[in-house]
Structure 1
Amino acid sequence: MSGVGTLSDGQNPLPFDPYASRENLRLTTVYATPWTCDPTTVDQATQRPGDLLNLGRLARYYDTSDQQLPRVLRHEALDCSSLAFQRWNAGEPVSAQLWHFLIPSGQVVVTLTVDVPGTLIEAVPLLEDLYYASISCAGIPLEQLAAERIGCGRDGDGAVPGFLPERHQLVFRSVDTPDQAPDDDIVQRVIYRTDLPYRAEHSSIRYPAELNRRPTTVGALGPYVSLICGHQDYIENCVLLSAVQAVGSAARLREIRAVAYAYVHRFRHRAGEQGDAHDRRTALEGISDGLSQLEVELSYSVEVGEEIGMLIPALRVESFHQELFAAIGVTHRAATIGQMLNRLGNAIAAELTSIESMEQRAADRRRVRTVVAVTFVTTVSGTLGLLFGFFGINASQVDQNRSMFDDHYAPIYAVIATILFCALAIFAGMRLQERWEERRDRSRTRTWESMHRLLAREAGAIVLDPTTPPPLPQRLPGSRRPDSRTQPSRTTPH
């Protein structure tokens, strides 16, 4: 692009970058992928976006914040003659480029950009092919081609890991005069990828104010397609980077949700898999550690990515970025999943408190048992001391001509045996009581199944057993079967 720029109207005209001028439509599709790279190797394996994309006066801001924004992992121009589409048959693309971006979380995002001739309505079938990746290059599907370019091989089943459901399309078009700007009907046909009429009051299309200020500029955003018309080339490139960030954040948010649900399942079924309090505490500590990592990932890979105004001081870029995150649903979903993580963390904290109470009661029982055992040993030792002291005294009851194991002293040994038996019985009884109390504590564990019982007890809910067939209906007292309806007489008028 020329660096001279275009002069604005007025007595003191100010130069600004010229608007993008191209004869063809530019269609860009951003795909989320399951491929990740080590974030510590980002600097060595990637390039700054300003080195390959024209970012105009905003290039230095992207370079300053490159650790918080997408970077270019790989860029390649494809042979247009080797491209084959499933639905679109209006010719051959003018150019095609395959991009691999790496966002700060380590996720790889693939972008395919094609320039095609024709109108916006004629490009709807091509948008459909691009969205569902129904494209092949030299007979190789796009997903396999993108995976091979970065060294991603086949998995254990022999299949190539494909793109994730999160994806977004950008349609760029040049507008020279206000008459060339697409009207609302064309905008909705492009964004909804269908050539059908619609009712304007039932639409989810967003129009950022900063992208629609001038008569020749249009910015319309949908959940899956966005239409950008009449803007400068560097604004289009900034829009592309924002879309890459939004698609990556949406994919990571879905992964966080899936892992959180797995933790919820483990938390609900913890009582059936764990035995004593130590095993339960270990399981809960594992879930708690995973939750802390999910919360950090939610904050720095999803929520922080929504705010770009602190990094790039451009109203149009910030307006598009925030509206895109809202249109995709990342903002609302991130808040919902954040609340789910917080509540699961609170439930784990409450469960750990319950386990601490159980362990404290077990420690109290062990302390009581130890005190009883020591006291009993002291008592027995005193008893034996008295016994052997009895044999050592000089009295008539102690016959020195008799052995200490003589039957004459059987009553004394019977008393000693009784004391020892009572000690063992007391210890065994206390141990059985302790194990019974431990089983009772484990039975009080709140699980998902007992929640229904809790509601039935406290709120009057009814718990049904689907395995038990319903009882047969019984006839009420005094009721009788209705007589069969007789045919009316032919002579009786109806």
Structure 2
Amino acid sequence: MTVSAAGTHSDGPVPLPFDPYVSREKTRLTTVYSTPWTYDPAQVDGAAERPGDVLNLGRLAKHYSRSSQQLPQILKREAFDCSRLAFQRWSAGEPAAAQLWHFLLPSGQVVVALTLDVSATLIETIPLLEDLYYASMECAGLPLEQIAAERIGCAPNGDRPVPGFLPERHQLVFSSVDTPERVPDEDTVQRVIYRTDLPYRAQHSSICYPMELNRRPTTVGALGPYVSLVCGHQDYIENCVLLSAVQAVGSAARLREIREVAYAYVHRFRHRSAGQGSAHERRTALEDITDGLSQLELELSYSVEVGSDIGTLVPALRVESFHQELFGAMGLTERAATIGQMLQRLGNATAAELTSVESMERRAADRRRVRTVVSVTFVTTITGTLSLLFGFFGINARQVDQQRSMFDGHYTPIYALITAILLCAVAIFGAMRLQERWEERRDRGRTRTWEGTHRLLAREVGTVILDPADAPGARRIPGSRPPGGTDRRTRSAAR
């Protein structure tokens, strides 16, 4: 007994207890684009629709509705007039249907998807796939990126153009299969996924075949980093695949943004001593980096790493198999782990630098305490000296002549002694202040910069630091002419 693609037994008309397989005559192409547009999820929560209210998700609709806050939602959908569509490479007729989708991810990101139904074989759709991947398409003379931006409310800001799609995108190719003989062979699969009509060597391919999508004789599931081919499955499985692709593209875009911000923090950390003369300024800069890193780690966890797991929310083998394989084919799992380690190590370096700053602040506090003690001691010394002076003139002794003025030269020795005491006190205070400033300059000189990293490697492991002036390219080879066609002796003479 066998089962046909329509979901019935081959030896009888009794239907099987599950949704029928797709039997459309057209080939459906869906391209998912990441965008720089972001919403506050709290402000558009009421405007976004749950995917089960718009898409046919079959028996899985209740699971998607229950976890709608953790899965993509639908903001807008619009059908295009196919007669007004124009492509750069595709010239085999106009599509039978075209629809533009705007999805909202839990992180607030907006992801755009364009779906076209065309009357063409899988091989014939390759030029159209190329046009769709690079958004080389216009509707009524307007580029696709501009149309998508206008529908979402993104308008030009002065002379600045409207920001277009981001590099992250993925394409889905859906096709129906009636019999096992019509299942696309391996060569057709690779030509569609690589968007090129060229032969290949099977041992050098990155195409993944999820087991659950290839279990039936009339079902095919093949995934690549940029294109996936799904044939012979039910309509609700295709919609689940679309939602998984939207989640993956959004996660890839957010992962790249996290990496860019992390590199900006690395640059600020490496050049943290530039223009920062005090420990307070350094502490403020390091605290800003630490606060940003905590937000990046949280975003990495909830927008990328958690998004790779859908089996907890939707208990469906085929959906989970495709979702996990797609994240793996796009390299999101490994990249998320790498960027997570980078954030953790940058956080450790920042914490170590904060400890160094705290040590500097403690030493500065100790110096201030010593300076205060010295100042009080200095004042005490002066008042004590004056008390000694006036006490000397107030004693009843023969050395004190009441007939002489206190400024008489007869009292020069006592004045010299008092002056010497005061000068010693001033000298001690000045010497301690100079020592404090020297220690402060020494602490600032210990600040590790990017150049200091090279010096550390040169000191510890023998790394050689080259001088660009001594590079071999700076020396003229006999019989050759320097760059620019002017001889060095000519330039020297000109100077």
TM over 0.5: yes
Partner of 1:271: 273
- Structure 2 Cα separation of the partners of residues 409 and 116 of structure 1: 116
Matches for 1:280-295 after TM superposition, within 5 Å = 280-295=282-297
Q: 2:352 aligns with which of 350, 353, 367?
A: 350
By how many angstroms is 1:405 displaced?
Answer: 3.3
| One-letter code aligned to 1:248 | G
By how many angstroms is 1:452 displaced?
Answer: 1.5
- Structure 2 Cα separation of the partners of residues 469 and 121 of structure 1: 54
Assess if the C-alpha contact under 8 Å between 1:172 and 1:236 holds in 2: yes
Partner of 2:42: 40
- Structure 2 Cα separation of the partners of residues 396 and 180 of structure 1: 132
Q: 1:330 aligns with which of 329, 332, 345?
A: 332
Matched, 1:315 2:321: no
By how many angstroms is 1:10 displaced?
Answer: 11
Once the two structures are overlaid, the 10-residue window that deviates more, 372-381 or 95-104, is 372-381
Partner of 2:414: 412
By how many angstroms is 1:359 displaced?
Answer: 1.6
By how many angstroms is 1:14 displaced?
Answer: 5.2
- Structure 2 Cα separation of the partners of residues 300 and 421 of structure 1: 68
Partner of 1:483: none
Matched, 1:69 2:37: no
Once the two structures are overlaid, the 10-residue window that deviates more, 296-305 or 354-363, is 354-363
Are the structure 2 counterparts of residues 321 and 469 from structure 1 closer, same or farther at C-alpha, using a change threshold of 3 Å?
closer
Partner of 1:233: 235
In the TM superposition, what whole-angstrom CA distance separates every residue of 1:127-184 from its partner, at most 9, and x where no partner exists?
Answer: 0110010000000000001001111011454312110000000000011111111010
Matches for 1:95-174 after TM superposition, within 5 Å = 95-174=97-176
Matches for 1:137-216 after TM superposition, within 5 Å = 137-216=139-218
3-state DSSP of counterpart to 1:35: strand
Are the structure 2 counterparts of residues 404 and 157 from structure 1 closer, same or farther at C-alpha, using a change threshold of 3 Å?
same
| One-letter code aligned to 2:255 | L
By how many angstroms is 1:296 displaced?
Answer: 0.6
By how many angstroms is 1:259 displaced?
Answer: 0.6
3-state DSSP of counterpart to 2:204: coil
Partner of 2:31: 29
Matches for 1:297-308 after TM superposition, within 5 Å = 297-308=299-310
Once the two structures are overlaid, the 10-residue window that deviates more, 334-343 or 361-370, is 361-370
Matches for 1:49-88 after TM superposition, within 5 Å = 49-88=51-90
| One-letter code aligned to 2:454 | H
In the TM superposition, what whole-angstrom CA distance separates every residue of 1:338-386 from its partner, at most 9, and x where no partner exists?
Answer: 0000010111111111111122222222222222332333333323222
| One-letter code aligned to 2:181 | D
- Structure 2 Cα separation of the partners of residues 297 and 472 of structure 1: 51
- Structure 2 Cα separation of the partners of residues 166 and 468 of structure 1: 43
- Structure 2 Cα separation of the partners of residues 303 and 97 of structure 1: 30
Assess if the C-alpha contact under 8 Å between 1:155 and 1:161 holds in 2: no
In the TM superposition, what whole-angstrom CA distance separates every residue of 1:222-250 from its partner, at most 9, and x where no partner exists?
Answer: 00000000000000000000000000000
Are the structure 2 counterparts of residues 200 and 8 from structure 1 closer, same or farther at C-alpha, using a change threshold of 3 Å?
same
- Structure 2 Cα separation of the partners of residues 208 and 63 of structure 1: 25
3-state DSSP of counterpart to 2:138: strand
Are the structure 2 counterparts of residues 44 and 13 from structure 1 closer, same or farther at C-alpha, using a change threshold of 3 Å?
closer
Assess if the C-alpha contact under 8 Å between 2:7 and 2:15 holds in 1: no
Matched, 1:20 2:22: yes
Once the two structures are overlaid, the 10-residue window that deviates more, 378-387 or 70-79, is 378-387
- Structure 2 Cα separation of the partners of residues 129 and 205 of structure 1: 22
- Structure 2 Cα separation of the partners of residues 309 and 41 of structure 1: 29
- Structure 2 Cα separation of the partners of residues 82 and 176 of structure 1: 33
- Structure 2 Cα separation of the partners of residues 417 and 383 of structure 1: 9
Once the two structures are overlaid, the 10-residue window that deviates more, 287-296 or 451-460, is 451-460
3-state DSSP of counterpart to 1:272: coil
Are the structure 2 counterparts of residues 259 and 469 from structure 1 closer, same or farther at C-alpha, using a change threshold of 3 Å?
closer
- Structure 2 Cα separation of the partners of residues 433 and 392 of structure 1: 40
3-state DSSP of counterpart to 2:397: coil
Q: 2:453 aligns with which of 451, 454, 471?
A: 451
| Number of residue pairs the alignment of both structures matches | 469
- Identity among equivalent positions (%) equals 77
In the TM superposition, what whole-angstrom CA distance separates every residue of 1:67-125 from its partner, at most 9, and x where no partner exists?
Answer: 00001011101100100011111111110000000101111100000000011011111
Assess if the C-alpha contact under 8 Å between 2:50 and 2:73 holds in 1: yes
Partner of 2:429: 427
Return the TM-score normalized by structure 2: 0.91
Once the two structures are overlaid, the 10-residue window that deviates more, 219-228 or 362-371, is 362-371
Assess if the C-alpha contact under 8 Å between 2:96 and 2:119 holds in 1: yes
- Structure 2 Cα separation of the partners of residues 336 and 179 of structure 1: 44
By how many angstroms is 1:7 displaced?
Answer: 5.6
Partner of 1:381: 383
Once the two structures are overlaid, the 10-residue window that deviates more, 427-436 or 379-388, is 379-388
- Structure 2 Cα separation of the partners of residues 135 and 90 of structure 1: 14
- Structure 2 Cα separation of the partners of residues 254 and 472 of structure 1: 42
Partner of 1:484: none
By how many angstroms is 1:415 displaced?
Answer: 2.4
Return the TM-score normalized by structure 1: 0.91
Matched, 1:243 2:277: no
- Structure 1 Cα separation of the partners of residues 195 and 384 of structure 2: 96
Partner of 1:398: 400
Q: Which stretches in structure 1 are left out of the alignment for 5+ residues?
A: 474-494
In the TM superposition, what whole-angstrom CA distance separates every residue of 1:257-301 from its partner, at most 9, and x where no partner exists?
Answer: 001111111111112231121111111111111111110110011
In the TM superposition, what whole-angstrom CA distance separates every residue of 1:368-408 from its partner, at most 9, and x where no partner exists?
Answer: 22223323333333232222222222222222233333333
Are the structure 2 counterparts of residues 360 and 6 from structure 1 closer, same or farther at C-alpha, using a change threshold of 3 Å?
same
Matches for 1:475-486 after TM superposition, within 5 Å = none
- Structure 2 Cα separation of the partners of residues 57 and 7 of structure 1: 19
| One-letter code aligned to 2:313 | L
3-state DSSP of counterpart to 1:445: coil
Partner of 1:477: none
Assess if the C-alpha contact under 8 Å between 1:120 and 1:186 holds in 2: yes
- Structure 1 Cα separation of the partners of residues 306 and 199 of structure 2: 38
Partner of 1:339: 341
Partner of 2:263: 261
By how many angstroms is 1:6 displaced?
Answer: 4.8
